[in-house]
Amino acid sequence: MSSIVGQERTYAVGIATEASSRRQSPEGRKESLLLASLIGIICLVLGFIIVFKFQYIAGDALSRVLSGFDVVWRGQFHLAAIGLLWNPLPSLISIPFAMIRNIWPPLVTLGFTGNIVTAFFAALGVYHMNQLLRQLGITTIIRVTMVLAFALNPLMLMYGSNGMTDGMLANVLVPCVAAVYRYSTTRHPMHIVAAGTWLALGFMIRYEAVPIAVFMGFGLYIALLLSGSTRKEAEATALALWTPIVMAGIVWIILNWMIMKNPLYFLLSSYGNAKQLSTGAYNTLWITANIHNAGHTLMQVAEWTINFWPFIPVFLITLFGYLRNLKNIFPLPLLAASLGAPALQFLLLYLNKSADWQRFFIYYIPFGMIMLAYILSRIRIQYRVLAGAVTVIMVLSSCVVSFGATNSPQWGHGDISLVRRLLKWDTSYVNPMIIGNEQIGNYISQRPGMKILISQWDNNYTLPFISNPSRVVTTSDTDYEGILENPRGRVDYFLVAPPSSLIKLGKLYKAWPNMWSGGLLWTRLYHEFPDGSKIYEVLPDAP
């Protein structure tokens, strides 16, 4: 190993010089843009197919699109209507698309805006992955193979197309790591600021960015100390990395405090993931076995490296190489950051606050691919051909293994039904969510005088189909709770969804748990829909 990996300082400097020249090359940027455009188009086409051909709509993705829709749909720009539950960036990006929804309603009604956004982030990740591999000096054939294997890994491809945020964060982490690498070769502080900015952007997409940032910062701090930097320099660098995400977190907490009167509303809300998981709706045998069982939980977190099977060996090789040369600061923050999201999932699974969904472990893919590229960049020239061949085999086989997991009932939780329909090209499925919500929306639209209260938790997907928003009271309205508790003279009807373990978390069900079953004397059943939703008329003796 020492004869292969051990690098002379002059050779390392040569690599850095070559990397710098490649990064500044217009041909390099053109190549990266070409690959990014290719992947962006593939993801967009796949997103179009799964939405319009297979009628697949990811509920969480649509919810984020509708959060942006809430800002503008009443004809009054109301930014607080975006809500304080989801991280705000995907919904903020959705706002311009919501403003033109009358031109093409599926942007909102089918949530296709989310598919457009994730395709853009997939292209972003590919662009920066190719740029980073150029900086590492990876030859063209191997580099392009690695970049395509990264983007076309079944999990990355799926979450670059379906509107969900997991792939968005995974792709944002690539330029973040690339900026840390540039700092390690130049020691220019602006690269650390850039890395921190990407982490803050990641926080605005998903909360996994927080542990990733914490681990990366401590890894960078220790690496700088071990490389000979002063304690003050190491502290200043770590703080520079953390400052953007800390500031983003503070602003988010203040907004929760100002708007929802609870600085931790995003964490403690009855609509949040923790409350949903507490219902047991997502429990499996594995989840149950994890509760307060550290050994079982650790094993499961490690087994999810099936998303990118080379992760464990390349992690160990990168660590071994770093321990042989502590002057090179890049590997340690990379290694540490790669453990951030798995560490969070370990804690949440141990406390029964998460689910064993494949997408929660997507981050093994970008970090593992970058480690593999870094190892390849450190191999001596005489071994490069053999190492390149092994690398190609590893990355291509990782796609095959990841696909097997996605198509497995044991691993592919959340995606297996769509994957199997795609493989069979089974387009016979008719999405009841689309039909049911369109029926309800059209029914309400045909009655312009109907002043109706709708819970966005229960019937969120109905709202885009309603053409007369001024006659609707929803959760995003500032006086919603008051109207919910005292509806007389303020609304004429309630739309109530059939109860379920998740529906029962909503404010409407908590305020009036017997309404759907007809147990309230001051309401009268007005209309019932095939999906079980009911409209109740508010009678004069209502509170």
Query: Is 543 domain-assigned?
Result: no
Please check whether residues 373 and 473 belong to one and the same domain.
no
Please check whether residues 76 and 215 belong to one and the same domain.
yes
- The stretch 351-368 carries a mean pLDDT of 92
pLDDT at position 146 is: 97
pLDDT tops 80 at residue 219: yes
pLDDT tops 70 at residue 371: yes
Please check whether residues 16 and 154 belong to one and the same domain.
yes
Please check whether residues 372 and 461 belong to one and the same domain.
no
| CA dist list (Å): 525 to 258, 332, 442, 453, 472 | 38, 64, 19, 14, 18
Query: Is 457 domain-assigned?
Result: yes
Please check whether residues 514 and 404 belong to one and the same domain.
no
Alpha helices in 261-303 (DSSP H): 265-268, 273-278, 285-290, 294-303
Please check whether residues 334 and 482 belong to one and the same domain.
no
Q: Which residue has the tokens 């008329």?
A: 537
391: CB partners within 8 A, 6+ apart: 142, 146, 372, 376
Q: How many Cβ atoms are within 10 Å of 268's Cβ, its own excluded?
A: 13
Q: CB–CB of 122/39 below 8 Å?
A: yes
pLDDT tops 70 at residue 19: no
Report which residue type is found at 126.
V
| pLDDT tens string 307-335 | 999 999 999 999 999 999 999 999 999 99
Q: To 5 degrees, how large is the angle CA 354–CA 197–CA 262?
A: 50
Task: Provide the number of structural domains found in the chain.
Answer: 2
Domain final residue pick, 397, 423, 449: 423
What tokens appear for 86 in the block? 């989801």
Please check whether residues 129 and 220 belong to one and the same domain.
yes
Task: List beta partners, residue 80.
Answer: none
Alpha helices in 309-415 (DSSP H): 311-324, 331-338, 340-350, 364-377, 384-406
Please check whether residues 415 and 267 belong to one and the same domain.
yes
State the chain's mean pLDDT as an integer: 89
250: CB partners within 8 A, 6+ apart: none
Q: Which residue has the higher pLDDT, 378 or 470?
A: 378
- How does residue 2 score in pLDDT terms, banded at 50, 70 and 90? very low
Shortest CA distance to 457 belongs to which of 11, 8, 66?
66
Sheet holding 452-454, edge to edge: 472-474, 452-454, 493-496, 534-538, 523-528
Whole-number CA gyration radius for the chain: 25
Query: Is 399 domain-assigned?
Result: yes
10-19, 160-169, 232-241, 413-422: which has the minimum mean pLDDT?
Answer: 10-19
Structure pTM?
0.90
pLDDT at position 14 is: 39
| pLDDT tens string 104-127 | 999 999 999 999 999 999 999 999
Shortest CA distance to 65 belongs to which of 97, 23, 43?
97
- Three-state DSSP class for 495? strand
- How does residue 59 score in pLDDT terms, banded at 50, 70 and 90? confident
| pLDDT tens string 415-461 | 888 999 999 999 888 888 888 899 999 999 999 889 999 987 777 78
Query: Is 43 domain-assigned?
Result: yes
Domain final residue pick, 423, 443, 463: 423
- How does residue 275 score in pLDDT terms, banded at 50, 70 and 90? low
Cα(95)–Cα(69) distance, integer angstroms: 6
Please check whether residues 112 and 251 belong to one and the same domain.
yes
Question: What is the biggest distance separating any 2 CA atoms in the chain, rounded to whole angstroms?
Answer: 88
18-22, 156-160, 361-365: which has the minimum mean pLDDT?
Answer: 18-22
pLDDT at position 284 is: 72
Query: Is 163 domain-assigned?
Result: yes
Q: CB–CB of 495/452 below 8 Å?
A: yes
pLDDT at position 89 is: 95
Bridge-based pairing of strands 523-528 and 534-538 is antiparallel
Q: CB–CB of 363/345 below 8 Å?
A: no
Q: Which domain holds residue 446?
A: 432-538
Domain final residue pick, 423, 455, 483: 423
Please check whether residues 391 and 479 belong to one and the same domain.
no
pLDDT at position 301 is: 94
| pLDDT tens string 494-508 | 999 888 767 777 788
pLDDT at position 287 is: 77
Please check whether residues 388 and 280 belong to one and the same domain.
yes
Please check whether residues 199 and 251 belong to one and the same domain.
yes
pLDDT at position 13 is: 38
Q: How many Cβ atoms are within 10 Å of 480's Cβ, its own excluded?
A: 18
138-152, 158-172, 223-237, 399-413: which has the minimum mean pLDDT?
Answer: 399-413
